[in-house]
Structure 1
Amino acid sequence: MSKRIIPLIMCGGAGTRLWPSSREGRPKQFLPLFGPRSTFQDTILRIADPALFDRPIVITSEAYRFMVREQLAEIGHEADILLEPARRDSGPAIAAGAAFALTRDSDAVVLALAADHVVRDVPAFVAACRAGLVEAGNDHIVTFGVTPERPAVEYGYISPGDGLSGDVKRVAKFVEKPDLPTATRYVEAGYLWNSGNFMFRATTLLDEYRSVDADSVTTISDAVTKAGRDLGFFTLDADAFKQARAISVDYAVMEKTAKAAVVPVSCGWSDVGSWLAVWELSAKDAHGNAAQGVAVFEDTRNCHVASDGPTVALEGVDDLVVVATQDAVLVSRQKDPNNLKRLVTKLKVAAPRVTEDHLKTHRPWGSVQALETGERYQVKRLVVKAGERISLQMHHHRSEHWIVVRGTAKVTLNDQVKVMQENESIYIPIGVSHRLENPGKIPLELIEVQTGSYLGEDDIVRIEDDYKRT
């Protein structure tokens, strides 16, 4: 089959098992966990061969849309970016992607991939895609079954059945995440890890979904038909999409269909579902210790450090993961990765801010980093990308003082416009409409000092905004 595959990249998850690096505001798929690129960027590069793959579709949320666009631009790629108005799990997301693919090709073959997985052997992955394409064209829904490297308890398994073509086989059954003795038996019996990635003709997937939940498929299809276009993004109709039942594609389709097939693959795959998985994929010293950032180990074995600045020193310990960010530190046993999800649930009550975003938050125009907060004042570092500008805005409760550190700033105060250079500053009184713009060719960097009786982000009244934020 010579048809090109339309990749569908699922990019909406929060990734709480990699807290405190991964947070709601910038989840794990956008983090450079193993080098200069994020797992989302590596996923895009994995399906970049134009001989086999068509222009990808990325399905994500409004909160992540500018991160998706920025990270695509960083690696020189483009995609159709489809925005979910609400999280409905992988079933509706994949169905929406399939319905959207049909607007581009009435006989579309879709490859649904998670944005946060790691594949170390890309040629083996691409070969599996070629093998799966044959049976996807024969109306099978093909999943990728990873040859187990160990009896893992964090993955579901697939029992392969009769052969179809080449190495592709029917799925005899799917099984849930097992305990260790059961996982050992599965591996010995030739079961495969369920990677949660799929290939299918879009019409086949939607027909199978419709046979078990016609109402959801109808509302999802309506959401695609009524989708709008805003700032280059495709926005699913909210009223229609929210009526779809929230369910994973495994429960909605794969465990019910008679058309499930599996292509075995050994490609160094991981879903990076825990810090233990990150440690397993990282380079280690002679004692099994791995580090991202500055770390010093003494009489320490099988530990993992990920530091976003602070130097971490470990002495006389074993089997620990230590993750240090600018505002939170995690110390945990590597062998108990599932406990972290329960910990984050508690943190959402006790200290919700550290689960939502970092001190440095990304904006479509650049970034804001909190440097210091006290009673009635805050100090922040703003970086505005070349050619970008913040919204025209005002505040009821705070004044601001801007000091240019690097680059050129164009500042609007009411009807006055001033161009500022490095080491110059300006004062913005309470109630004055203002806007900051970078007219230059390099990033604009400045320090912002806020003072007032209330300093919350909800005291931003946007008068005009290039990004149509409310």
Structure 2
Amino acid sequence: MSKVTEVASNAKSENVEQVLLDRPTLVQVILAGGSGTRLWPVSREQFPKQLIDLVGNQTLLQATMGRMAGFSTSWDIAADPVIVCGTEHYFATYEQAREIGVNARIVVEPGRRDTAPALTLAALAARTDGRDAILIAMPADHAIADLDALHQSIEIAADYALSGKIATLGIPPDRPDTGFGYIRLGEALHDGAHRIERFVEKPAAELAAQYVESGNYWWNSGMFVVRSSVWLAMIERFQPEIHAACLQAWEHAKKADECMMPDATEFLRSPSDSIDYAVMEQIGKADSPFDGVVVPLVAGWSDLGSWDAVWQAMQKDEDGNAASGRVLFEGATATYGRSQGGRLVACVGTSNLIVVDTDDAVLVVDRSHVQDIKGLVSRIKRDKSPEADAHRKVRRPWGFYDSIDHGDRFQVKRIVVMPGARLSLQMHHHRAEHWTVVCGTALVTRGDEQFLLGENESTYIPLGIRHRLENPGRVPLQIIEVQSGTYLGEDDIVRFDDKYGRCG
């Protein structure tokens, strides 16, 4: 029997009080690996919805980071959350945490493997101090209006986790909805919770209506409360390949830019699976040594899984209209307007519409057809159009670039490098670059040379030459880059040295 399995078995024994005399710390785990298609064109593959301020002044990720604040409880709560995110998002995640003063422990997945491997990495990260912990796992892209109600549900769930169970927070439904998974309720427990009978995937409309009418089903919120040792025991028993791959990846992890980078080769051996499929659907089986419970959460929860859900979560005028940015309504009803690019969006006589404007795309969709956006994004990807993956302004760990113009054999970008930051030492096989400094001072490496450029000075980077751009100053460095060549894609980058761990 493995160590983690032994811990889980002890938690179910008659001596549970002795085993758990020292109550473990509560650790918030934020699962931030989403890719983002249903809220296109604001949400993109490289900049998903958790990084966007959809319903308030903070991004959804930042709001999630603050979700344990004010939790008045006898539990010891870890000050720093564990955030699991992808390689393409970790620098934005790091910056957003720093903006609100959160010293997050960021774990960077080398590839997408869904939520079960992500939670396994988080469980390993939470145990690095040698102590067990109770994980409060929650998606980074949901909205919750009533934090006190959330804290009450977590308190109940943590008590179940203390005894070796895995608890999930379920949402008593107020309407049939085909966009959510459901949980069939089992035996009622004394505090409003139920044993889990089974998980149900997103149903058709008629079946969803039957579920709600029966009163025996709650929505699956995707939030879980479980001891790290118990989760590791569960994943080892039910999904040994995931357990082995994550364990090896963690043992060979490296630290870069204040983030933990599990070994890519080992992690990518893991199957891709969700928490629901990998574990929750297994615990109710007769031969399972584990128990699961569902605790009710009535806290104004929304997964913000569509533009219609965003409209529902926002404050509205007397005609049911909601707006973000420069938006005017004239004779409009039940309309949502968003100006992401700063242009004025005017909705005249519209009804039940979603109108979203960004720098490079405009979406107009009937609110009853918002689920069709996912199919639209698939078409954009098949056409290999850039609007599916990234915005015109693309964030990088060193700053950002803004694609100003492009043609068949050229591309113009405005590049902003933050003070003290530097790009990787790199080369390109298919393009040359011209750099002109418009603000700040640039330290340029070009082949065997290294030199400074001031404002209004420029240089040329030939095709195939190793080069690097750095900002040695105290103000953001801004340059205009003109690329020319036969291929201008971002994948034409060969990195030789990179402080952000992107050479592998």
The match for 2:279 is: 253
- 5 Å-filtered alignment, 1:297-316, equals 297-309=329-341, 310-316=343-349
8 Å contact from structure 1 (residues 135, 165) kept in 2: no
Equivalent residue for 1:420, pick from 454, 457, 460: 454
Query: Which amino acid in structure 2 is aligned with residue 21 of structure 1?
Result: V
8 Å contact from structure 2 (residues 327, 344) kept in 1: yes
2: CA distance, partners of 1:2 / 1:267: 27
Structure 2, unmatched stretches of 5+, are 1-21, 285-290
8 Å contact from structure 1 (residues 98, 206) kept in 2: yes
The match for 1:167 is: 192
Moved more, 159-168 or 9-18: 159-168
Residue 213 and residue 63 in structure 1: after superposition, are their counterparts in 2 closer, same or farther (change >3 A)? same
Residue 221 and residue 458 in structure 1: after superposition, are their counterparts in 2 closer, same or farther (change >3 A)? closer
1: CA distance, partners of 2:24 / 2:461: 61
Query: Which amino acid in structure 1 is aligned with residue 32 of structure 2?
Result: C
Identity of counterpart residues, as a percentage?
41
Query: Which amino acid in structure 1 is aligned with residue 394 of structure 2?
Result: T
The match for 1:210 is: 236
Equivalent residue for 2:264, pick from 216, 235, 238: 238
Secondary structure of the 1:209 match is helix
2: CA distance, partners of 1:114 / 1:141: 17
Query: Which amino acid in structure 2 is aligned with residue 94 of structure 1?
Result: L
Secondary structure of the 1:206 match is helix
Equivalent residue for 2:380, pick from 344, 347, 355: 347
Secondary structure of the 1:149 match is coil
1: CA distance, partners of 2:430 / 2:178: 53
Q: What's the Cα RMSD here?
A: 2.5
1: CA distance, partners of 2:369 / 2:156: 37
2: CA distance, partners of 1:303 / 1:389: 44
The match for 1:273 is: 305
Write out per-residue CA displacement over residues 162-207 of structure 1, whole angstroms, 9 at most, x where no aligned residue. 3445333322333332344443443343332210110011222233
Q: Does 1:97 align with 2:122?
A: yes
8 Å contact from structure 2 (residues 24, 132) kept in 1: no
The Cα of 1:70 is off from its aligned counterpart by 1.3
Secondary structure of the 2:38 match is helix
The Cα of 1:288 is off from its aligned counterpart by 1.4
Moved more, 283-292 or 15-24: 283-292
Residue 314 and residue 59 in structure 1: after superposition, are their counterparts in 2 closer, same or farther (change >3 A)? same
Equivalent residue for 2:255, pick from 224, 229, 251: 229
Query: Which amino acid in structure 2 is aligned with residue 328 of structure 1?
Result: A
Structure 1, unmatched stretches of 5+, are none
Q: Does 1:12 align with 2:30?
A: no
- 5 Å-filtered alignment, 1:362-377, equals 362-377=395-410
Moved more, 126-135 or 344-353: 344-353
Write out per-residue CA displacement over residues 57-104 of structure 1, whole angstroms, 9 at most, x where no aligned residue. 211222222122111111111222222222222122222322333333
- 5 Å-filtered alignment, 1:47-446, equals 47-48=68-69, 52-54=76-78, 55-190=80-215, 191-258=217-284, 259-309=291-341, 310-395=343-428, 398-413=431-446, 415-421=449-455, 424-430=456-462, 434-446=467-479
8 Å contact from structure 2 (residues 461, 467) kept in 1: no
Write out per-residue CA displacement over residues 270-317 of structure 1, whole angstroms, 9 at most, x where no aligned residue. 111111111111222222122222222233221212222232222333
Query: Which amino acid in structure 1 is aligned with residue 404 of structure 2?
Result: L
Residue 304 and residue 434 in structure 1: after superposition, are their counterparts in 2 closer, same or farther (change >3 A)? same
1: CA distance, partners of 2:200 / 2:408: 55
Query: Which amino acid in structure 2 is aligned with residue 175 of structure 1?
Result: V
Secondary structure of the 1:252 match is helix
8 Å contact from structure 1 (residues 401, 425) kept in 2: no
8 Å contact from structure 2 (residues 37, 43) kept in 1: yes
Secondary structure of the 1:17 match is coil
1: CA distance, partners of 2:193 / 2:32: 27
